[in-house]
Amino acid sequence: MIIDIFLIIASIIISVIGITYVYFRRENFGNKLNLCLNSLIYLFSGILFFTSFILSTETYFSESNALVLWNLSIIFWVFSLSLLSVIHRFIINFEKKAVFSTLFYSLIIGIILGLIFYSEAFTINSNSGIYSFGFKNVLLLLFLLCYNFLIIGVFCYNLIKAYSSIRDDRSRKMLIILTTQFSIIIILYSVYILTQNTTFRYLYEFIYLIGASCATYYIIKKPFLFIELTNRIYDFIIFHRSGILLYSYNFETGVETDDSLLKGSILIGINHILSNLTNKKDQLGLIKMQNRDIILEYDNSHGYAILLTTDHKNAYIDKAVSNFMVKFTGLNKEKLQKLTGLIDISEFRNAKDILLEFFEPFIMKG
């Protein structure tokens, strides 16, 4: 009982830390949907599921109450798996809508819930002061096990399919670690519900807490893992209203470039920037090309603008651009005001440090 209480408290603490961090660092997650999904997975999995799962085995409760808790744990489990699968998909590529998989998940969840609510699904036994549960409805057991391994299959499929498109090796390795942890947790849970072996239960619970701790660590220390890993930034360019390139960085090579290397669609955006720097009305913030988005941001009062090319814009990139401009202007305000005649662009090399600070998830690191 004491160990179980400790495990519940540990899971709740990890979940509360995760939810709190996600809320107060919500800019790291790019959009409100991603923010909600990451908060909900902590709520459903770390608090509701884990608590009801452990308490259901305690003979402190009557058999009828223990059955209610066990039923609730199954319900919270299948919803947690669905949330985890959606988050995993969005981490890899948020823009691709998984309509079919969502409908398929909903169908299976509906069947599982129906079998729980409309049949006598479980038997309960007490052994050595711990409740164990058997499946009276074999169909429910089959659907639940199939759903568990379906989610693992979806994890692996999404990872393999997108592997070569993920931004860098660092992100690939960490996503593999997380995917492996999630899969092991699901397998251990499946083994336990099938065998009702106490050893597997405790093994599952400890591995779950380790996995939850690792995921929370990554959320706090490695937030780039949750910023759509297949979305890339290609070029980042700062132009003065005179047409002079102040700074340019290529995210694919990690090299600062000059205007002789600028091409095609980038020049379209640059020409648009220069034509709009003196006109605050109808300033275009986005040019959508066939395979690229060109993001345009202006600072009319200091006479410069930023052009950024990416696969597609998202809330994280918008926030990063805004933060960059605030800090860049603060550090270079006097230089920008005094720009006349011959311009020494080497004075703006401090832009790279600011770039690395706010666009860290998109920096190539091997």
Token duo for residue 191: 């083994």
Judged by average pLDDT, the poorest of 140-154, 184-198, 287-301 is 287-301
Cα separations in angstroms, 364 against 120, 253, 295, 350? 55, 8, 20, 19
Q: Is the pLDDT of residue 30 over 70?
A: no
**pLDDT of the residue at 152:** 94
Q: Does 326 have pLDDT greater than 70? A: yes
Residue 94's SS3 state is coil
Q: If you average pLDDT over every residue of the chain, what do you get? A: 83
- Of 101, 82, 35, 58, which is closest to residue 315 (Cα–Cα)? 35
Write down the pLDDT at residue 328. 92
**pLDDT value at residue 4:** 86
Sign of the CA dihedral running 197, 199, 200, 202? positive
Q: How far is Cα 182 from Cα 89, in angstroms, rounded to an integer?
A: 14
Q: State how beta strands 233-240 and 245-250 pair.
A: antiparallel
Interacting residues of 109 by C-beta distance below 8 A, sequence separation 6+:
78, 79, 82, 147
Q: Which domains does the chain have, with CATH numbers?
A: 2-226 (1.20.1070.10), 233-362 (3.30.450.70)
pLDDT of amino acid 42: 94
**282 vs 51, higher pLDDT:** 51
Query: In angstroms, rounded to a whole number, what is the distance separating the alpha carbons of residues 203 and 136?
Result: 25
Residue 43 corresponds to which amino acid? L
Q: Are 235 and 219 in contact (CB under 8 A)?
A: no
Query: Side-chain half-sphere of 106: how many Cα atoms within 13 Å?
Result: 6
Token digits of residue 351: 């832009």
Sequence letter at residue 317: I
Supply the pLDDT for residue 273. Answer: 63
Residue pLDDT, tens place only, 253-307: 888 876 555 555 566 666 666 666 555 545 557 778 778 888 888 888 888 889 8
263 vs 338: which has the higher pLDDT: 338
153 in Cβ contact with 182 (< 8 Å): no
Q: How far is CA 251 from CA 222, 254, 298, in A?
A: 19, 5, 21
Q: Residue by residue, what is the 3-state secondary structure of 140-184? A: HHHHHHHHHHHHHHHHHHHHHHHHHHCCCHHHHHHHHHHHHHHHH
82 Cβ neighbours under 8 A, 6+ residues apart: 105, 109
Average pLDDT over residues 232-244: 84
| Cα radius of gyration (the chain) | 26
